[in-house]
A = this chain, B = another copy of it.
């Protein structure tokens, strides 16, 4: 195939972000309201065009910072604090996914601890954390009784894929700690698993499992009582990234 610039059609390339966090025992995703057509007024995933001199991961990190103020976690610096986990998810390129033009979107998945409040260009009403089931239900009515419109474009599919990735990845990696603050208790980590998987876990077996997995948790020495009840030990994420044996997701 000789090199011929007219031999290939031009594409626009964007990054879209599935930013997940756990709030009030529910897995939530960041959604922004679209200000212009198509899908004006509908909720969508945050994202934007990749710039001419930018790598895909850079573009995703830039969008993440613009939308949330989060810095992306550099994989080369595992002990970095307050950085969000960011990884490529999948690429969506259906010719009709954007009615305006041919857009290929490289979706990324970000996991963040619970954050104060979202921002989207400074306008809080145009960005929110919403439970993923609420964003994924087709039509129907949300918790507040208002009608729910599906996400713009193919973003329901992207969000669904991102949630599934997160659900499976916390099984065999220490990624669940990305949902926790720098220091956290075993109970807080358990509530992350329960929210992401949507199941209840036995606190005793969970405690035995996570404290017995080498490299998963490192005790800081401190304790906290912010959950009420007996004070709990505080931990930081250990160096291990892959858990062997993995956490087991209960059968449905």
Contact = CB atoms under 8 A, between A and B. Distances in A.
Contacts of A13: 8, 11, 13, 93, 104
A173 B134 CA distance: 30
A77 interface: no
Count the copies.
Answer: 2
Nearest to A2: B36
A31 interface: no
B52 A9 contact: yes
A95 B52 contact: yes
A102 interface: yes
B54 A95 contact: yes
Nearest to A55: B94
A121 to B, nearest CB: 9
Interface string A84-98: 000010111111000
A2 B50 CA distance: 15
B102 A104 contact: no
A5 interface: yes
Contact of A93 (B3, B36, B49, B50): B50
Task: Decide if the interface of chain A is mainly helix, strand, loop or mixed.
Answer: loop
A95 B7 CA distance: 20
A9 B51 contact: yes
Interface residues of A, number: 36
B91 A49 contact: no
Contacts of A3: 36-37, 100
Nearest to A105: B91
B8 A49 contact: yes
B93 A90 contact: no
A12 interface: yes
Interface in A92-150: 92-95, 100-102, 104, 106
29 contacts: A1-B48, A2-B36, A3-B37, A3-B100, A5-B101, A7-B49, A8-B12, A8-B13, A8-B49, A8-B50, A9-B49, A9-B50, A9-B52, A11-B11, A11-B12, A11-B50, A13-B13, A13-B93, A13-B104, A52-B102, A53-B95, A54-B95, A55-B93, A55-B94, A56-B92, A56-B93, A88-B90, A104-B104, A104-B106
Given A1-B48, A9-B51, A13-B93, 11 more contacts: A1-B35, A2-B36, A8-B14, A8-B49, A13-B13, A50-B93, A52-B95, A56-B93, A91-B106, A93-B106, A104-B104
